[in-house]
Amino acid sequence: MNIPASRATPIGSMRAIGVLLCLFLAAGVRAQTANPLATLIFETARPDAVEDSRGAGTANAADVSNAADEKEKAESVDSYLAAISNAIEDSGLYSQELSEHYEALGVLYFQQGEYESAIEAFEDAIHIQKVNKGLFNLDQSKLVEYLVRTHIALGDFVAVDNHKHYLYYLQDKNLAPDDPRLVSAKLDWADWNVEAYIKGYRDSYSYPVTLTDSIDAARNIENRMTLNVPLVNRDMVDSGSGGEQVQSVSFSMRMPMLNQNSVVTNAAITDYNLRSIPLALSNDIVINQRLYEAEEIYETLLEQLDDDSPESLQEKEALQLKLANISYLLKKELDQYENIRDQGSIAFNRVNQEYTSDAGMITNRRYIQTKNAFEELTTEIAESPSTTPVEKARAFIALGDLHLSFDRPQRAFSAYDQALDILAANGYTREGALSLLSPSPLIAVPAFGIHNFSREFFSIPAEVDIPYKGYIDVTVNKDRFGNLTGVNVLAASENTPQQVRSALVEYLRNQRFRPTFAGRESVEEQDIQLRYFYYY
């Protein structure tokens, strides 16, 4: 099994259609300007990307086009429409040539920011593909990928979710188990589920977190399923009248409606219904199911890697990092239930009128499982004669990040020390080794994790220039464990939305960063000044 090189990082969900990615950034996301948090990116690097000190960003492509460009685009649309008319006249409504014309027209509409028209063109092309090649033919995959990118531009992530799910269904249905394309498809689907979880696009296939969200998700939905649940009669047990008595209780739960391209998953149940059943639910059940689905895929792929070649070690590390990221995300979700006493939360079972949270135990169990597996792999990498000193050191740095993100700083510092020792033993100066461990600017831990507001989150390659809209200057203090305090906004470029300022401050306050080291010790830093460029 070969995991593509692009999978070496934990991000892998939005790789399709490289040409459209650049167009997506160049054109801007018009529909998102009312809610910049949906596509917000912060970066401290590459200040030269901002045109002037006020940070006036790049305008939409349609705004900077001159009259000649607009005329040329209109003529291009007319030529494609004429080609479509001719193809229908010459070959009928379902020719392959017609599908190709619709595809080209959809790409052109996308370039012009006419996303609704692009969607209509892509869907026409898909319809022809289905007629000619079968309902679930694999050749429509590229067109579905176009739809994914277009709905992202519109900010319609429910549609993105459905099309992503349909795309994975097509690939899983048509590709052989040993086809490397299926490995890539599984990774894309798993990565999307993680991405959707982080950004909160969970409504279609997951448990809403709050009672209000749950009611909203269930409203006006008629799909229902009935289950029989064995229930222990607690009164009989407590009275000592002859042991447990088990009775079967029937209850029904609503299933969210899906569009025509959707495939039902085991996570399509709302917690509003789950918490109505006469059972005490553990957090293993009620936390978001997207992460469990992604975790299952990663673990299955990891089991298939049974050799110890250098390529296999890299693939194992990529998958272990993805699994470690899921454990970290679950820890963050469970932390909020550790001491919760809110009857509107998923930690409270309404029927039994009791709290079912056991967050601390679950978090500790996941930490132990994750760190044991990662420590074993790190040892393999360190002992392999085929891995470079930097690869060995980075494995220990990732292990240190894992410990630190689970609040085990001493174990983290020990792993960081091992990374420094490896580099020193291979000719690195102390300064060079420290620059690899703790480079400037701040690095959020775990560095292998998926974090909000990053280009990695949106799978934007490092070589793609982001058309920043402006900047925000902040000052922070960092303690020796990587926690930030005293986060203050010093200045911002003109017309920076308050919503964007607040998002940056909140992110910095709630994130942990890799400590700064002087010699062998981590040290505090005061009044760190940073400039964050933003795009949305």
Same domain, 132 and 267: no
In a domain, 521, yes or no: yes
pLDDT at position 260 is: 33
pLDDT of residue 134: 93
Return the closest-CA partner of residue 38 out of 466, 471, 489, 500.
500
Per-residue pLDDT at 79: 80
Tell me how far apart the alpha carbons of residues 204 and 224 are, in angstroms, rounded to a whole number: 15
**Could you tell me if 142 and 15 lie in one domain?**
yes
Note whether 423 and 436 are within 8 A (CB). yes
Distance from C-alpha of 395 to C-alpha of 299, rounded to nearest angstrom: 19
- Judge whether 422 and 389 are in contact, CB under 8 Å: yes
300 lies in a domain? no
- Residue 296 included in any domain: no
Whose CA is closest to 297, among 5, 15, 12, 18?
A: 12
Q: Which residue has the tokens 């009275």?
A: 239
CA 25, CA 41: separation in Å to the nearest integer?
Answer: 12
Same domain assignment for residues 233 and 342: no
185 and 62, same structural domain? yes
Asked if residue 42 lies in contact with residue 534, where contact means CB atoms within 8 angstroms, the answer is: yes
Is 293 a member of any domain?
Answer: no
Residues 215 and 328 in one domain: no
Verify that 410 and 314 share a domain, yes or no: yes
User: What pTM did the predictor assign?
Assistant: 0.71
Q: What is the C-alpha to C-alpha distance for residues 227 and 95, in angstroms, rounded to an integer?
A: 47
* 22 and 169 together in one domain: yes
Please report, for the domain that includes residue 168, its CATH number.
1.25.40.10
Instruction: Identify whether the C-beta of residue 144 lies closer than 8 Å to the C-beta of residue 163.
Output: yes
Q: Is residue 88 part of a domain?
A: yes
Question: Are 199 and 193 a contacting pair, CB within 8 Å?
Answer: no
Same domain for 24 and 151: yes
Q: What is the mean pLDDT of each run of 10 residues along the chain (536 residues)?
A: 42 37 44 58 59 36 43 68 77 82 90 92 94 93 94 82 91 92 94 85 39 33 42 43 49 37 34 41 55 90 77 91 93 70 56 61 85 95 94 97 96 96 94 87 90 81 85 95 94 94 93 89 92 92
C-alpha distances in angstroms, 177 versus 13, 57, 126, 295?
20, 46, 25, 18
Are 42 and 532 in contact by the 8 Å Cβ rule? The answer is: yes
Per the structure, how many domains does the chain have?
4
What is the spatial distance between Cα 138 and Cα 406, in angstroms, rounded to a whole number? Answer: 42
Verify that 189 and 241 share a domain, yes or no: no
Tell me: do 67 and 16 sit in the same domain. yes
Structural domain range at position 314: 305-430
In this structure, the answer to whether residues 454 and 372 fall within a common structural domain is no
Let me know: does 331 contact 406? Beta carbons within 8 Å.
yes
All residues at 6 or more sequence positions from 123 whose CB lies less than 8 Å from its CB, including other chains: 147
Short-list 313, 420, 404, 415, CA closest to 367: 404
Asked whether residue 260 is domain-assigned, the answer is yes
In the three-class reduction of DSSP (H, G, I as helix; E, B as strand; rest coil), residue 525 is classed as strand
Pairing state between β 246-254 and 525-535:
unpaired
Q: What is residue 319's predicted lDDT score, i.e. its pLDDT?
A: 95
> Quick check: is 297 in a domain?
no
Residue at 292 is within a domain = no
User: Which residues contact residue 444 at a Cβ distance below 8 angstroms, ignoring those fewer than 6 apart?
Assistant: 451, 511, 512, 513, 514
The angle that helices 359-383 and 310-335 make with each other, rounded to 10 degrees, is: 160
Helix axes 310-335, 389-405, angle to 10 degrees: 10
| Vertex 196 angle, CA 192 and 198, to 5° | 120
Nearest to 473 by CA among 455, 499, 493: 493
The DSSP 8-state label assigned to residue 37 in this structure reads G
Q: Is there a single domain that holds both residue 191 and residue 244?
A: no
